[in-house]
Chain A
Amino acid sequence: MELTLWTYEGPPHVGAMRIAASMEGVHYVLHAPQGDTYADLLFTMIERRGRRPPVTYTTFQARDLGGDTAELVKRSIQQAVDRFQPEALLVGESCTAELIQDQPGSLAAGMGLGVPVVSLELPAYSKKENWGAAETLYQLCRGLLKEQVPLPGRPKPDPTRWRAEGRRPRVNLLGPSLLGFRCRDDVKELRGLLGDHGIEVNVVAPLGAAPADLLRLPAADVNLCLYPEVAGPLCSWLERSFGTPVLRAVPIGIGATTEFLRDLHALLDLEAPASLEADQRSRLPWYSRSVDSTYLTGKRVFIFADATHAIAAARIASRELGFKVVGLGTYSRELAREVRAAAQELGLEALISDDYLAVEKAMGEAAPELVLGTQMERHSAKRLGLPCAVISAPLHVQDVPARYAPQMGWEGANVIFDTWVHPLMMGLEEHLIGMFKEDFEFVEGHRSHLAEGAPARSAPTPEPALATATLAPLDGGAKAAPVWSTDGEAALGKIPFFVRGKVRKNTETFARDQGLAAITEEVLYDAKAHYSR
């Protein structure tokens, strides 16, 4: 039993709904009590879908439990098939139905429906939404493709066979789904990117795919595992069963996109793309090199997201924007290993948790200047008075923008630059405010007009204590807090407000370490010198 207030992921059957709702011609019969229909609103409200997800719920009640719930399941299945005439039927159960053990999948299999039936077993008491989505996509593809699986021992198809076949190379885009982060726009961006390199898109799945499209999956030369949370198991199975190589690089950010293109070209035996492409096609590299961005240097950033977006964000933040990553974590336990590795590269220990309060606590302790997270971190950041940009599911209606706003590819990098930098004060502006703060026109607390989400000056922001690990007092900080003298306070007041809190905290730490009872102006400058060593 685990106490949960807010959750990052829904139950696994919601993951199955994401697959069904992302596709065309698939219907999902879900053995579930009334109330579980709430999940429809995730699609109709958050994604603003103009149609209901293709899900029929049995909505059994307590009075049905004494009778024959299996009959109810069969009736629901028959009615759904008659009404919606799907090309493929998913059959499964939610947490409560799992306990009654009506075996809806077996019931459906025995009904002679004349339509492919995929029975989903998604353990509701141990697994979660993304796992459910991945399992559903895998089971659905496996079910539809089982006739096509070549006998063991047959040679693997050569990913460069396109040349001999006199056609262009083609790839599958796997993983984009509803309620994923910006999947709709990522697909569009990648279609363009691949098209520019003469690579065709064979199938995009699950988003927009019909069961008939899934039958064409083995025709691809390479599978692109764009969202490993959803597509990981399917890609591995396609590789095992059909020998299709998988490209696991996720093209979010300049470096990752460059690497993605390079690796894909190598797999397909295409000539490597021009190294100037990133600079020509995306503004991020130049924007990040331009002088205004000097002020982004070392900005402390805390990252918590699904694994895909957390890893990508850490790389962009540290290498492409010159931020300092002070926290990195994910709720995707299935991909914890990858996130741990990414954190280790940055000298951090990854936070693997689905307890948003633990994440909020880590966020506060890391004292970031920018938070990149999910909707949950947006709320936590607001509470801590920190600017935040949402980079991953779970998402809210505002994360499904009307405009084109991909994360992947060159345009994705542009979008990321804008989205992450805007919550911060503009570089030169920050500098000028510091310069003119002695002028009488200066209004204390003035912020960038772009920094609406940013904290007011007086927000109780936990301020960063630089290199706390080495500077922490040996006795664990039990000494009494030093007192600020009048001249010390006055000197502190002359320091620009947006670093004042940091200076105050550093100076106090310094004074405590030195065993000083009072902080004078001199102590402040001593501390400044100490920390700038």
Chain B
Amino acid sequence: MAATPTLPPLIKESGQREVFCGLTSIVWLHRRMPDAFFLVVGSRTCAHLIQSAAGVMIFAEPRFGTAILGERDLAGLADANDELDRVVGDLLGRRPEIRTLFLVGSCPSEVIKLDLAKAAERLSQRMVGRVRVVNYSGSGIETTFTQGEDAALTALVPMLPASDAPQLLLVGTLADGVEERFLTLFERLGIGPVRSLPPRQSTELPPVGPGTRLLLAQPFLSDTVRALERRGARRIASPYPLGVEGSLAWMAAAAAAFDIDPIQLALVMDPLVERGRRALEPLRRQLEGKRLFLLPDSQLEIPLARFLHRECGMELVEVGTPYLDRQLMTEELALLPPGTQLSEGQDVERQLERVRASRPDLVVCGLGLANPLEAEGIATKWSIELVFSPIHGCDQAADLAELFARPLHRRELLQWN
């Protein structure tokens, strides 16, 4: 690609992929929308996956569940539809507070070609005015981890009301506190109205139209962006709001799109930038010169690599990403240091060989690989924490860096003699 001439050829691999499937994103999506229920139509494996990825069974009665297909459902699809209607009826009877039901497709439902889109339509009609039923697929044969959110949001796009009015639409789940902080900052800049997708209440869907400018809070929303663009919205190209630099660039891009006076931007952002950099300083001292290997997982790897290199001084050994959407990554790729080795896809055994050969100081990886690498003497940072923690914005830059500094700091602390 012409945009990134300084990067060596991409390593493209296809082999065993040690990543979660898109169902995992239910774990944070359901918290974002407390009036929504996520019903996976799948197998016991799907139920077990979400339960295991959520770490502990912290919720007494969670707002997600699995309609587990049985042998009878596989034998006759008409029955499967009846069964689904029954399960949904029981579920909504138990949980009358639910306003939106996401029917989430899985590997088995995709393979047997269970038409959940049609089922969602049928159920929506039946419960019109009470519950909206939305379908998307979080199956592992189609989606990787955070791509589940992309699929969920894409499914919401056709339901957004139309509006030509100018507005800024933040796209991608943010921690509530972080979102509030951004809203305050946009208000100080004089940008408004600002809305979010996904919204905090599933019934309060933001409008979209030619006046809508999109600002992506998360880098894994390729399909959502395309669907919103088809509704007339235009994307504001920018790096992602991770780290001080990324967050400033992100706010600045929005300010430019809304013709905000640069002086006003400086007035609002300079103190934050100054404070954010000061907070980063001690962490930079811990991370500087340390060699970092990112395995593909959350799709946040490229923005994280940019932040950890440019603001924390880490050296990038390899930056893996489940898939590379160059359009959404243009600004990020331009900020990577020359020579950064990117890899797309995965062949986990070969990638681990590269990890061992390069002896990095820190590896960012999934939960399945972390302890085995630690046992080999390689420090790790689990990537799943990155999608559950408030990490966006200038104010969070130091917290974000701390997530990476902690495993290194811990190794220095522990002594056995």
Chain B count of residues within 8 A CB distance of the other chain: 65
- Cα separation A376 to B47 with both chains bound (whole Å): 14
Q: Which of A34, A123, A396 has the most CB of B within 10 A?
A: A34
A38 to B366 alpha-carbon distance, docked (Å): 9
Stretch from A91-99, A168-176, A196-204, A287-295 forming part of the interface with B:
A91-99
Instruction: With A7-B44, A33-B141, A41-B367 as known contacts, state yes or no: A1 contacts B61, CB within 8 Å.
Output: no
Q: Which of B16, B43, B58, B144 contacts A95 (CB 8 A)?
A: B43
Chain A contact residues, CB within 8 Å of chain B: 1-7, 9-11, 13-14, 33-42, 44-45, 48-52, 56-62, 64-65, 76, 79, 83, 94-96, 99-100, 123-126, 128, 357, 375-376, 379-380, 383, 396
Inter-subunit contact B48/A3 (CB<8 Å): no
* Partner-contacting stretch, out of B83-91, B201-209, B231-239: B83-91
**Contact assessment for B110 and A6 in the assembled complex, using a CB-CB cutoff below 8 Å:** no
A462 to chain B minimum Cβ distance, whole angstroms, is 15
CB distance from B43 to the nearest CB of A (A): 4
> Are the CB atoms of A7 and B111 closer together than 8 Å?
no
A100 to B372, CA, bound (A): 32
A4 CA to B52 CA, complexed, in Å: 14
Interchain CB contact under 8 A, A50 and B107: no
B19 x A99 contact (CB < 8 A): no
Q: Which of B1-9, B66-74, B385-393 contacts A (4 or more CB under 8 A)?
A: B66-74
Asked whether B52 lies within 8 Å of A35 as measured between CB atoms, the reply is no
How far is A9 from B41 in the complex, measured between Cα atoms in Å? Answer: 18
Which residues of the other chain, A, contact B64 by a CB distance below 8 angstroms? 5
* Interface mask (B362-400 → A, CB under 8 Å = 1, otherwise 0): 000011111110110000000000000000000000000
Residue of B nearest to A84 (CB): B349
Q: Which residues of A contact B73 (CB under 8 A)?
A: 1, 125
A35 touching B84 by the CB < 8 A rule?
Answer: no
Which one of B91, B368, B370 contacts A3 once the chains associate, using CB atoms below 8 Å?
Answer: B91
**Are A50 and B16 touching (Cβ within 8 A)?**
no
Is the pair B49, A35 in contact by a Cβ cutoff of 8 Å? yes
Does B407 touch A at the CB level, under 8 Å?
no
A35 contacts B16, C-beta separation under 8 Å:
no
Which of B107, B111, B369 touches A52 (beta carbons < 8 Å)?
Answer: B369
> Restricting to B9-41, which residues have a CB under 8 Å from any CB of A?
15-24, 39, 41
A49 touches B371 (CB 8 A): yes
Selected A-B contacts with CB under 8 Å, 22 pairs: A1-B67, A2-B68, A3-B66, A4-B68, A6-B62, A7-B47, A11-B48, A34-B141, A37-B19, A38-B21, A41-B53, A49-B371, A50-B372, A51-B375, A59-B140, A64-B141, A79-B15, A95-B45, A124-B44, A128-B44, A375-B57, A379-B58
Q: How far is the CB of B373 from chain A (nearest CB, A)?
A: 9
How long is the Cα–Cα vector from A379 to B90 in the complex, in angstroms? 23
A345 to B341, CA, bound (A): 68
Q: Which chain B residues (212-239) contact chain A, with CB distance < 8 Å?
A: none
In the complex formed, the residue of A with least CB distance to B371 is A44
Q: How far is the CB of B230 from chain A (nearest CB, A)?
A: 23
Find out whether the CB atom of B62 lies under 8 angstroms from the CB atom of A125: no
Residues of A within 8 A of B43 (CB): 11, 95-96, 124-125
A125 & B74 in contact (Cβ 8 Å cutoff): yes
B69 neighbours in A (Cβ, 8 Å): 1, 125
- 8 Å CB interface, B73-121 against A: 73-74, 80, 83-84, 86-87, 90-91, 107-108, 110-112
Give the CA-CA distance A13 to B66 in the complex, in Å.
18
Q: Is the CB of A125 within 8 A of B53?
A: no
CA distance A33 to B105 in the complex (A): 14
Q: Are A33 and B372 in contact (CB under 8 A)?
A: no
| Central interface residue in A39, A52, A123, A124, by most chain B CB within 10 Å | A52
A100–B65 Cα distance when bound, in Å, is 25
Interface residue B330 (Cβ < 8 Å from any Cβ of A): no
Is B56 positioned at the interface, with any CB of A under 8 Å from its CB?
yes
